[in-house]
Structure 1
Amino acid sequence: MFTFRQVYTFSYNLFQFSGHTWILANSIARFLTFGRDALADTFYSVGFVMSLCQLLSILELFHIADGIEKARLLPRFIQVVEKNLLLMVVIMLEEIQSKPVVCVLLFLWNILDLLRYPYQLLCVLDTPSITLLWACYTLRIPLYILSVITEAVTIYQVLPFVGPSAAFLVLLKLYLPLLAVGASVTIWQLLRERQQHLDRWNKKMKRK
């Protein structure tokens, strides 16, 4: 018999998994159909669903704080803030939405999330997979580094479109070093989290 917490957690992860799967499938289908021309309006096609998924990801901070999800709060907080702030910038500046870098960024974000949500779904069902565990906590580290580099490139390409808004321009320039510091802390925390999860799995297998 599932508890309310388990039903909620399963539903949340299933929604996120379905949303990101739709985004990725839609983006790939458009690219296969229209080629490079599809890059120009990818954000128009998937931006709403992507924004909704990222907005709801704020709930994960409460999940971790409440013990619903066993993960480190700091790296997840940094990642959630990074994505939502950058999405707000992209949404506000229509000129940047058609840039190929935005399409690449959305692709990397989706791959990162599609590594995590299937594993969490299996954890809710108490049927974790070592393959998904390894992929979730190993592959996401280089992918996260690539996504941070892409975020920095996106911010750099945003700067010419900011216009006369000096305050906004200063904030964006300040964001770049903060992004580097936050990414460094996150990578360190992700490496520790990976080691802890793999050690816990090995201990579990030895007890069996």
Structure 2
Amino acid sequence: MLDHLPDQGHPSGIVPSSVVLTAFQVMSRVFLTWAVTHSVKEVQNEDSVLLFVVAWTITEIIRYSFYTFSLLNHLPYLIKWARYTLFIVLYPMGVSGELLTIYAALPFVRQAGLYSISLPNKYNFSFDYYTFLILVMISYIPIFPQLYFHMLHQRRKVLSYTEEHKKSE
């Protein structure tokens, strides 16, 4: 879910990512991995799982290569280009895999009542995991375009600066 979150400042000084956005990304990946794919065994062989796992894997290889070379003050242009270009394909690929996996899980979640709590109970509380998953899917509609277009803006800014800097040398 929302796997290519944009860089938003660097409070730690180690990597240029917001702690909040990084925590959100980690939580969303744990959610997709555990609360959907692990919990709903029937979806584990879906092509959509392979789709998001491949997208996440390539993204992390690029991201941490970028961070490592940046920390070493020796960032090859190819790594920078990959960081700010390959998301154009990888982000929609990962999001598609995530959404298709959640969608594939829905009938099994509904049939089994997975993680749902019905009334009456001593806490006077109910929770419908099926509806929650649908709301998670709907949340991609406003969030994905914002993050994607932010990354396109970052790409323009970072790569055009690099090109201008190269021309002036």
In structure 1, runs of 5+ residues without a counterpart are 1-53, 55-60
Q: 1:70 aligns with which of 16, 23, 26?
A: 16
Q: Please identify the structure whose Cα radius of gyration is greater.
A: 2
> Within 2, Cα distance between the matches of 1:158 and 1:122?
39
SS in 1 for 2:60: helix
1:108–1:147 Cα contact (<8 Å) kept = yes
Q: 2:30 aligns with which of 84, 88, 111?
A: 84
Report the equivalent of 2:132. Answer: 171
What are the superposed Cα offsets for residues 86-129 of structure 1, whole Å, 9 maximum, x if unpaired?
Answer: 11221222222232321222112111212222122111111111
> Within 2, Cα distance between the matches of 1:79 and 1:187?
14
> Within 1, Cα distance between the matches of 2:100 and 2:94?
10
- Give the TM-score taking structure 1 as reference length: 0.61
Higher percent of residues as helix: 1
Computed over aligned residues only, the root mean square deviation of the Cα atoms, in angstroms, reads 2.8
What are the superposed Cα offsets for residues 139-189 of structure 1, whole Å, 9 maximum, x if unpaired?
Answer: 112210111111111110010111223610010010111022221111022
Report the equivalent of 1:205. Answer: 166
Report the equivalent of 1:147. Answer: 94
> Within 2, Cα distance between the matches of 1:93 and 1:190?
32
1:71–1:193 Cα contact (<8 Å) kept = no
Alignment of 1:17-32 (within 5 A): none
Aligned AA (2:144)? A
> Within 2, Cα distance between the matches of 1:118 and 1:67?
17
SS in 2 for 1:70: coil
1:95–1:161 Cα contact (<8 Å) kept = yes
- Give the TM-score taking structure 2 as reference length: 0.73
Say if 1:198 and 1:148 are closer, same or farther in 2 by CA, change over 3 A. Answer: same
In structure 2, runs of 5+ residues without a counterpart are 117-126
Note the C-alpha offset of 1:74: 7.3
Note the C-alpha offset of 1:192: 1.9
